[in-house]
Structure 1
């Protein structure tokens, strides 16, 4: 017996699963807190698909680009856009903190805070310079890039592999055909895994509400509201006007990506939707080479939600602990955050990891103040992830248009006709993707 037509939509299934998870977490918190493995299993299944899908997509995309200069130009433009958006996000978080002052009047004594709960975050904050960061992009072995599942080493390997295939077209033709065939199989596997998204959403929401509960927000509600306001302002005042300048409406793009955004909201993670974003952005008319280069890079270099969180949380700690900051100190903090906002991609609790990494190099702000945020960080991680995903989707479209690699007619048609798709939409999107 088939489900009613509205329930055939993955969007509705995930939405209902989230509501059910919140109900279980609220009325049976002990049981809800035990359901986290459902979410972890779903995210783990999708995560294991990311590296091979990114590799196949980038290699296939590079061979479709006209020349290597286009590839270099695309990467440079994407990185310039990423840093511009990050700088604006940092400034917007700072502005929101100064206007709403979420930590004012708390008068926290940092010596009374339990900093031991930060141990799981400080282990990820080893200082790395540009040289160390560059060396970390090189995997120990070719298969090592896939073993760890990190996006940037896979991106480097894909570029080298794609350039080699382009340099030897006759010898590389059968290899490219094999890669395209493997990609089709991987997307089919992904479509099967995505049917489990409602189960993952149910477990994630049951755990969040059961483990933390609404009462855990307490006096930090002003901080949470301030953060959500800052993220909304970034969408309305930054991304929406940029989208309009490029000839499309942001809200139509959000409607087109509604299923992916709902999965991000439920799991508080951007990773589960990376493969689906690739096929959906290609289906919009963006060139597969540009999508393959810009989107994976954006997952490490364009964490705008985290950038907003860093400035807002840092100023919150300063206000709560009565630590005055001068203009030079704030300028130094912003410069450090341009790097630390990009240093914790893919790490559990990445916002807190990046915040700890920032405060460790700014002696004026107490690292122990991060302990104030641990209890409500989970409730803010959804907004961080959503903001970053939306920003990266927009960035792909922007760069595609700059490169003349976006079918604007197809983009307009797809966004105008956007509607909830079936659970097997990954197969449909892959079939529509130009080759």
Structure 2
């Protein structure tokens, strides 16, 4: 298929209220007000947020499959797949470890739990047990085995992003090595991409409703007042995450030749959606579209973004070590250096696969504490009331971290169109996801 030679005219300005980020921002504000002044009604609106996240989850598997298969099938050198994955994993491992260490260091500097004198036996652990019951096999073998689906259709039915990615990579390589015989199949998948991404645009029209329901529930269920007692912990976490994004990732972006602030502006629609739903998964399809449109290769986007959603969880990692140290400080438990190193190692493993699902960070915290007996699992009850408010920050940090990682790996791989990047982020090419420019989003070609 030919790449369209012209984008929608910049003179075709839509009214401000038709922009997705304006609608989502208004929905967040209205939902917060409703949840605060009418908490009972706010709590009953939870299905709106849940329904929207399920709608997005419905389209994630085909988006990942088509993006990866088309990207790999268009590669001239299949060996580039392994090279991209290796570079991405090196990046993920380094920055995930850095995020864990940062959370640990900040906890030692700020001591967010030092002012509390809590007896773990006095805590109500009923709800904590509910989260802990979701902890599965956290061993390396168990995690790796989960990547392999029992059946091809099982990968799509389970909703496991890594299983879909695993099958898509193998199938893409198979198509690439079949040569001309695979051309009818690749042509079909390329044609199928347009209606699938059109479906994404249709689903995204419900984003303001989902954000409204999710925020109304959060405020109605937990209340702004729940932040008062643990405000220092919440502020510490938000401040640490902001430092990581603007300073650490900002430095990485600068070294890679782009501005973190320009990237954040470009992804403002998706960031507000993540804020409203507390789920980075809600914005995954749009993230993949926008990064490809801005100049990142289809194959790199298809490989790095889904993988990063399980292996590059910067916000979750900061939260994990900070929360463990907060509980230890609040219950006056001194952790030795070896125990803190154990926390780092366990958190690195338990955080994998936590992206996308609201509350998954709390589940992985339970998994970490279960393997670190020095800190009582019952201590999680201390932060249960504010975890939902920290979930937004976790998701935002994870989302931005994966966007930066994809651009950096694309540059490393030489699969990046810098001219298109500058044009898109400067506004010379429309940044809004719009039905009129679906073709521009879909058929950007592959530059790997």
- Smaller-chain TM-score bracket: over 0.9
Equivalent residue in structure 1 for 2:366, among 336, 346, 356: 356
Q: Secondary structure at the match of 2:406?
A: helix
Matched, 1:81 2:88: no
Q: How many Å apart are 1:421 and its aligned residue? A: 2.3
After superposition, where does 1:47-62 map in structure 2 within 5 Å? 47-62=57-72
Distance (Å, rounded) in 1 between the aligned partners of 2:43 and 2:434: 27
* 1:415 is the counterpart of 2:415: no
Q: 5 Å matches for 1:266-277?
A: 266-277=276-287
Aligned to 1:18: 28
| Map of 1:218 onto structure 2 | 228
Q: Which residue does 1:430 correspond to in 2?
A: 441
In the TM superposition, what is the alpha-carbon distance from 1:59 to its structure 2 partner?
0.2
User: Where does residue 28 of structure 1 map in the other structure?
Assistant: 38
Q: Establish whether residue 262 from structure 1 lines up as the match of residue 272 from structure 2.
A: yes
Greater shift, 359-368 or 133-142, is seen at 133-142
Worse-superposed segment, 20-29 or 47-56 = 20-29
What's the CA shift string for 1:122-142, capped at 9, x where partnerless? 122233322222211111111
> 1:294 aligned to 301, 304, 321, which one?
304
Cα drift, residue 344 of structure 1: 3.0
Matches within 5 A, 1:190-205: 190-205=200-215
Assess if the C-alpha contact under 8 Å between 1:11 and 1:258 holds in 2: yes
Structure 1 match to 2:219: 209
- Alpha-carbon distance change, 212 to 426 in structure 1, aligned in 2, over 3 angstroms: farther
In structure 2, the CA distance between the partners of 1:239 and 1:7, relative to structure 1 (3 Å rule), is same
TM-superposed deviation, 1:367:
0.7
Deviation at 1:403, TM superposition (A): 0.5
For residues 232 and 428 of structure 1, do their structure 2 counterparts lie closer, same or farther at Cα, with a shift above 3 Å needed?
A: farther
Shift of 1:425: 7.6
Moved more, 378-387 or 166-175: 166-175
Gaps of 5+ in 1: none
Does the Cα contact within 8 Å between 1:51 and 1:149 map onto a contact in 2? Answer: yes
Written as runs of structure 1 = structure 2, the 5 A alignment for 1:150-229 is 150-229=160-239
Match of 2:6 in 1: none
- Per-residue displacement from partner, 1:359-392 (whole Å, max 9, x unpaired)? 1111111110011111110000000000000000
Provide the alpha-carbon RMSD of the alignment.
1.6
* Partner Cα distance (1:181, 1:145) in 2: 22
- Cα distance change, pair 423–113 in 1 and its aligned pair in 2 (3 A): farther
Q: How many residues get paired?
A: 433
Tell me which residue corresponds to 1:230. 240
Asked if 2 retains the 8 angstrom alpha-carbon contact of 1:56 and 1:179, the reply is: yes
The Cα of 1:348 is off from its aligned counterpart by 3.9
Contact residue 264 and residue 385 of structure 1 kept, 8 A: yes
Contact 2:282–2:356 (CA<8 Å) still a contact in 1?
Answer: no
Q: Distance in 2 between matches of 1:429 and 1:296?
A: 22
8 Å Cα contact 1:10/1:423 also seen in 2: no
**Cα distance in 2 between the residues matched to 1:4 and 1:25:** 31
Following superposition, the deviation at residue 431 of structure 1 comes to 4.3
| Paired residues of 2:66 and 2:193 also in contact (CA < 8 A) | yes
Q: Deviations over 1:303-356 (max 9, x none)?
A: 110000001100100110000111111111111111112143344411111111
d(CA) in 1 for partners of 2:260, 2:357? 29
Q: Secondary structure at the match of 1:383?
A: helix
Distance 2:132 2:140 in 1: 20
SS at match of 2:225: helix
Shift in Å at residue 426 of structure 1? 7.4
Deviation at 1:190, TM superposition (A): 0.9
Please say which of residues 120-129 and 289-298 is displaced more in the overlay.
Answer: 120-129
Q: Distance in 2 between matches of 1:225 and 1:101?
A: 12
CA contact (8 A) 2:281 2:355 kept: no
Cα deviations across residues 97-125 of structure 1 (Å, max 9, x unaligned)? 11111101211000111122112211222
2:349 alignment partner, one of 336, 339, 342 = 339
How far is the alpha carbon of 1:188 from its aligned partner?
Answer: 0.5
Tell me how far apart the structure 2 counterparts of residues 252 and 124 of structure 1 sit (CA, whole Å). 39
CA distance in 2, matches of 1:109, 1:378: 23
Distance 2:106 2:440 in 1: 39
User: TM-score when scaled to structure 2?
Assistant: 0.94
The separation in 1 between residues aligned to 2:327 and 2:146, in whole angstroms, is: 32
Maintained 8 Å contact 1:62/1:162: yes
